Structure 1
Amino acid sequence: MFNSRRGGLLAAVCSAGLICGLTAGPAAAETLADAIALAYDSNPTLQAQRASQRALDENYVQARSGYRPSLSVSAGGAYQEIRTPAAARGLSIDTNGDGIPDAAGAGIRESNSGSGALSLNQPLYTGGRVAAAVSAAEADILTGRENLRRVETQVLGTVITAYVDTRRDQEAMRIRQENVRVLERQLEESKARFDVGEITRTDVAQSESRLSAAQSLFQSAQAQLAISRGNYVAVVGQSPGDLAPEPSLATLLPATVDQAFDTAQADNPLIRAAQYTEQASKARVSGARAERMPTIGLTARLGYSGGAEPFDGDLYSRSVTAGATVSIPLFSGGLTSSRVRQTIERNNVDRIGIEGARRSVLQNLTQAWSQLTASRAIIGSTDTQVRAARIAAEGTRQEQQVGLRTTLDVLNAEQELRAAELAQVNARRDEYVAAASVLAQMGHLEASYLTPNVPRYDPKSNFGKLRITWGWVPWEEPIAIVDSVFTPQPKEKPAPKPVSAAQ
């Protein structure tokens, strides 16, 4: 796959490949829906964000493990050798305790031991510590899902921009190429008229100058198209072929900017992520306060100990211990209170961040809507400009034939026509990108809206698999209910639901 994509990228920046792509495209035109579906399935940025979200889901399992028992086994062995001299400062030494002083030389005493133990710990009540960690993990996961939506919006926005940029540059290249052809014919006509004495050498030079400038602009158009094709390959994953006209986004756009902002407040992933972030920090405030609460747990231990060498299991002693522990924090030197104050202020930061996100979305949406409105007006103006410039260019050529216009008049008319056509192409591109930007700020620039028939990646499916997985025990549910009595639970907002989509 990577080799084919690399080959597509090389083809995208090859001039020969550009020309071949323009003159001999595939039988079926590639649509914007095709490009979005391919990027949605294979874009590395989007794939990496999905993997990051799956990793984030594991935080829930790790937090829930605080309700579950822990079982550990330990084993150990020891060897001890004591060497004592026969005498110290002329005194006899009795190393074996039989009341008889040792003989000359050093006394040696050896011993060994072995032990093994199985320990079990089961929390019954953590004062809300684990419940707060679970709530914070759930809120973090919801935040991660909104970040995944935001990355998807960015990727699909880049796909749309790359698609319309490529189509714009293909059309611009066609216009530049047509301009070269027209000016070549104009130069041939000027030379013929100069040969019969109808015009001067100055007219021929003017035609040559305009043709050279047109050829230079054509080369620049080729380079710009190569750049746009490279951008397309980078985000979509394959080189663009014959691109079909992009579908209208009118069915997805609201009638007024006020409706767009109301939708953005409910569906924009940046705002929703800020709200979930605030819920996570609020849960962490409860976790900090829970440090003042008592904890209750059960413990059990089974141990064996005896000599290691020679080994005789019948000589090993066994110990069994079971009990309940209650731990009540009394004084922490102000540490717990400081942590509570700290988490409260962090929650204040996150709460203020919601308003910051809302204002940022309002600003971006206003800019996108204004650009959309201006682009629509410009499209109307450029359509009129192209029609008028085409009529003017044709009339100027006819008037030149009867001696009412000069060669320079004809060249200027052609230049104005090409400029009007390029302005028209740019205006249509800007209008489509602005419409996509409005949808992005509304939180509706997603595959579910743009390509509803494409299978959608659901981040909830992976989280559902982790709800009951290895390590789960049935009695953790009642423990969790008791532990979470005073802990705020995250509130999931309804997911945006597409009403209609561009076809």
Structure 2
Amino acid sequence: MFISRRAGLLAAVFSAGLAFGSPAAAESLADAIALAYQTNPTLQAQRATLRALDESTVQARSGWRPTLSASASGTHSEQRTPGQSGVVDINGDGIPDATVSGGVSHASTAQGGLSVSQAIWTGGRVASAVSAAQADVLAGQENLRRIEAEVLGGVIVAYVDVRRDIEALRIRQDNVQVLRRQLEESDARFEVGEITRTDVAQSQARLAAAEAQMRSAEAQLAISRAAYAAIVGQNPGDLEPEPPLAPILPPSVEAAFEAAEVNNPQVRQAMYNAQAAEARVAAARAERMPNLALSGTVGWSGDTEPFEPSDYSRAVTGRATLTVPLFTGGLTNSRVRAARARETASELGVEQARRTALQNVTQAWSQLLAARAIIGSTDEQVRAARIAAEGVRQEQQVGLRTTIDVLNAEQELRAAELAQISARRDEYVAATSVLSAVGRLDAANLIPEVDRYDAQANSRDLRFTWGWVPWEEPIGLVDSAFVPVTEELPRDTPMATAN
């Protein structure tokens, strides 16, 4: 497995030089996102972690369910009494229970029983644990959304990086071809005495620099392809142009702020953590409350030699236990104070998460506006640089420009083209950052046609799994009378991306 993956990454390196060779299968951004969404190990591991967290609710609810246990034991004893015979008492209960024969006595007994216990009222202990577990599960679902946004955002960045570097390599290759023709032209003109050796040397120097830049562009493309393969799971093919993100972008920065407060996964996770902290305060307070439970046992005991089931004795015991805490040495009060302090910290964490989300929205939105403005500037720069390069070449033909003027004009044109493709890449990445900050960078918005992972399905399946009993619900209802209930926060409806 490791060798095959390493071979795949090496293939990404060696295939970079073939980017403009034989055509590969067309691949869209939606294809890359769908593949990463289904196979990325980071995302898969987080889903497994959430499924493990779902079990905490089942474990908490078990406090309302009965417990049943069975026990069994067997005893065999041998007693040697030289010179004695008759009936003797082996187990010391005052009743002769074994016959000594030839100075050796044997006795075998067996015992077994069943015990059942059912909590009737826990003073809110179990209800608080259930409420806290439910809040933890909801917080875990928001953490999964955060990881999903990071992975899908990484896919988008890797995709546009590969497309940018492919275009950059094309520009560098075109530059080498143009400079090679310029060198050939300079050599020819030098042979007829139109220019000096200095002009030829300048052309040679620019060509050597362009070739070095082309090699650097090839290396950068190989690096981007490897990053793409690492996050998506396969090497990039012939990448199609990325679709516009405008349909799911907020129309204004004010709308982005409002969406972030409702949908941002970090904010929502902090809110659920605050609910869990509130439930744990209630759990600490519940330690002061009485606890009522019913229990019963039934047991059998008798001899195994000879084995006669009708001779076995049976004992049945029923018990109702009311436990009232009176004095714990300050332990309960200390736990309540500690839980309150953690609740305060969680509430402050909500405010910190909200401020961070708004800061991220501001930064991403500012970068988006700047990138859009830069795109306009670079488009104008490329248009003007092309006109200038063509004019300088024509002026050189009539002796109005020198070789270095032509070389400088070509260099300015290539720099403008590289700036243009970088600006378009930066604009798309900035739009992705906005979507991440407002909580819309998820599969529901990016690939709505793909079957999505239901983070709540496992939790719903565990609600009535093995161990559930019908009377659990009324017991839980009574136990939850004075316990804060975990509330699921509303979210905006997902928006489809226009492809």
- Establish whether TM, by shorter chain, passes 0.5: yes
* Structure 2 alignment gaps of length 5 or more: 95-101
Separation (CA, whole Å) in 1 of partners of 2:22 and 2:493: 41
* Other structure's SS at 1:296 match: strand
1:190 equivalent in structure 2: 186
Question: Displacement of 1:3 after TM fit?
Answer: 7.6
1:250 to 246, 253, 263: 246
Q: Is the 8 A contact 2:293 2:320 kept in 1?
A: yes
Separation (CA, whole Å) in 2 of partners of 1:132 and 1:273: 19
Q: Does 1:286 align with 2:287?
A: no
Q: Does 1:410 align with 2:397?
A: no
1:22 to 20, 23, 35: 20
2:434 equivalent in structure 1: 438
Separation (CA, whole Å) in 2 of partners of 1:95 and 1:160: 85
Larger mean Cα displacement after TM superposition, 73-82 or 349-358? 73-82
Question: Displacement of 1:6 after TM fit?
Answer: 5.1
* Other structure's SS at 1:303 match: strand
2:40 equivalent in structure 1: 43
Q: Is the 8 A contact 2:121 2:475 kept in 1?
A: yes
Separation (CA, whole Å) in 1 of partners of 2:262 and 2:65: 37
2:112 equivalent in structure 1: 116
Q: Percent identity?
A: 63
Question: Displacement of 1:80 after TM fit?
Answer: 4.5
Q: Does 1:472 align with 2:468?
A: yes
Question: Structure 1 residues 3 and 244, CA, compared in 2 at 3 Å: closer, same or farther?
Answer: farther
* Other structure's SS at 2:296 match: strand
Q: Is the 8 A contact 1:84 1:95 kept in 2?
A: no
Q: Is the 8 A contact 1:39 1:235 kept in 2?
A: yes
Question: Displacement of 1:10 after TM fit?
Answer: 2.4
1:360 to 356, 361, 371: 356
Q: Does 1:178 align with 2:174?
A: yes
1:70 to 64, 67, 72: 67
Separation (CA, whole Å) in 2 of partners of 1:310 and 1:131: 51
Question: Structure 1 residues 182 and 66, CA, compared in 2 at 3 Å: closer, same or farther?
Answer: same
1:60 to 49, 52, 57: 57
Separation (CA, whole Å) in 1 of partners of 2:19 and 2:194: 42
Separation (CA, whole Å) in 2 of partners of 1:306 and 1:29: 80
Superposition pairs of residues 258-273 of structure 1, within 5 angstroms: 258-273=254-269
Question: Displacement of 1:110 after TM fit?
Answer: 5.6
Separation (CA, whole Å) in 2 of partners of 1:442 and 1:349: 24
* Other structure's SS at 1:457 match: coil
Separation (CA, whole Å) in 2 of partners of 1:478 and 1:372: 55
Cα shift readout 1:22-53 (whole Å, capped 9, x = no counterpart): 22223x52111111111111111111111111
Separation (CA, whole Å) in 2 of partners of 1:19 and 1:13: 8
Normalising by structure 1, we get a TM-score of: 0.93
1:222 to 204, 207, 218: 218
Superposition pairs of residues 101-140 of structure 1, within 5 angstroms: 111-140=107-136
Q: Is the 8 A contact 2:279 2:483 kept in 1?
A: yes
* Other structure's SS at 1:8 match: helix
Q: Is the 8 A contact 1:22 1:242 kept in 2?
A: no
Larger mean Cα displacement after TM superposition, 491-500 or 364-373? 491-500
* Other structure's SS at 1:23 match: coil
* Other structure's SS at 1:297 match: strand
Separation (CA, whole Å) in 2 of partners of 1:116 and 1:95: 23
Separation (CA, whole Å) in 1 of partners of 2:298 and 2:498: 68
Separation (CA, whole Å) in 2 of partners of 1:117 and 1:458: 45
Letter in 1 for 2:491: A
Letter in 1 for 2:227: N
* Other structure's SS at 1:471 match: coil
Letter in 1 for 2:21: T
* Other structure's SS at 1:239 match: coil
Larger mean Cα displacement after TM superposition, 465-474 or 245-254? 245-254
Question: Displacement of 1:78 after TM fit?
Answer: 2.8
* Other structure's SS at 1:13 match: helix
Question: Displacement of 1:499 after TM fit?
Answer: 3.3
Question: Displacement of 1:7 after TM fit?
Answer: 4.5
1:302 equivalent in structure 2: 298
Q: Is the 8 A contact 2:19 2:166 kept in 1?
A: no
Q: Is the 8 A contact 1:95 1:107 kept in 2?
A: no
Question: Displacement of 1:254 after TM fit?
Answer: 1.9
2:477 to 473, 477, 481: 481
Cα shift readout 1:389-441 (whole Å, capped 9, x = no counterpart): 11111111111111111101100100000000000111111110001000100
1:89 equivalent in structure 2: none
